Amino acid sequence: MGVLENKSRAQVFYKYLSRVYDGINPFVWNEAMRTEAIELLDPQADDRVLDVGCGTGFATEGLLERTERVHGLDQSRHQLERAWAKFGKTDQIRFYRGDAERLPFADDAFDAVWSSGSIEYWPDPVAALREFRRVVAPGGGVLVVGPDAPDSSVFERVADAIMLFYDEEEADRMFDAAGFERFEHHIQQARPGSPRAITTIAHAPE
């Protein structure tokens, strides 16, 4: 388990990262990548969408272009404060402080679940994916964006010591273990040489 796959350490990490997050994020996860991923999820105007690990609201902003029924959840108070400053005073979104592995929502509560830049910090990704399957309605879409495993074995060992990096084979194993039957993976990249994202679109069993 990586250093940041620990909830308390991750919270301290984001306490400081939240101050510069919006300036750093576009170098690895930009608007074009976000738009491409949202197209894969394809939320409809009246869909209830849950954004798990919403952070400062970068993905939330894109989702709000497709639906006004967005719910954002994050474990970091500091990240949520910045998201609230952007969107909290409208009636388009509700924010919650919570844990991806124990979502505070009823079964089938959402039409779609989105999570970008969060899975790498979960101590038990399969448990969180099971929660996604539980709270999404039958047939609903689940989209997860995480860091693709580096090509270099040396860098991979260093990266894994910090947080979760995974490839398509590992993604297959996680989504299958969580009970998803239909899923596919896409590799996204901001620019040549920049870190790659592995984006999985899955659908809950009907």
User: 3-state DSSP call for residue 206?
Assistant: coil
Structural domain includes residue 171: yes
CB–CB of 142/132 below 8 Å? yes
CB 11 within 8 A of CB 32: no
Matching residue, tokens 């608007």: 31
Distances in whole angstroms, Cα of residue 77 to Cα of each of 24, 54, 68: 19, 11, 23
pTM reported for the whole predicted model: 0.84
DSSP one-letter code for 25: G
For residue 181, is it within any domain?
Answer: yes
Residue 2 lies in a domain: no
Q: Domain residues for 105?
A: 7-203
Q: Are strands 182-189 and 196-203 parallel, antiparallel or unpaired?
A: antiparallel
Which tens digit of pLDDT belongs to each residue from 92-116? 799 999 999 999 999 999 999 999 9
26: in domain: yes
What's the CATH number where 137 sits? 3.40.50.150
The domain total for the chain is 1
In a domain? residue 1: no
Residue 49 in any domain: the answer is yes
Measure the CA–CA gap between 61 and 83, rounded to whole angstroms.
10
Chain segment 140-163, per-residue pLDDT in tens = 999 999 999 877 543 444 344 456
